[in-house]
Structure 1
Amino acid sequence: MIRLTRLNKTTFVLNSDLIECFESTPDTVITLTNSKKYVVCESIDEVVEKVMQFKAGILKYANES
Structure 2
Amino acid sequence: MIELTKLNGTPFVVNAELIEIIEATPDTVITLINGRKMMVKETVDEVVKKAVDYKKLITNVY
Task: Please state how far the C-alpha of 1:60 moved relative to its aligned partner.
Answer: 1.9
2: distance between equivalents of 1:46 and 1:25? 15
Aligned residue runs from structure 1 range 1-65, under 5 A: 1-60=1-60
Using the size of structure 1 for normalisation, the TM-score is: 0.89
Task: Give the letter for the 1:43 counterpart.
Answer: T
Task: Give the letter for the 1:22 counterpart.
Answer: I
1: distance between equivalents of 2:60 and 2:19? 22
Q: Which has the higher helix share?
A: 1
Unmatched 5+ residue regions in structure 1? Answer: none
Larger radius of gyration: 1
Classify the secondary structure of the residue corresponding to 2:8: coil
Classify the secondary structure of the residue corresponding to 2:38: strand
Using the size of structure 2 for normalisation, the TM-score is: 0.93
Question: Runs (4+) of structure 1 moved beyond 4 Å?
Answer: none
2: distance between equivalents of 1:2 and 1:9? 16
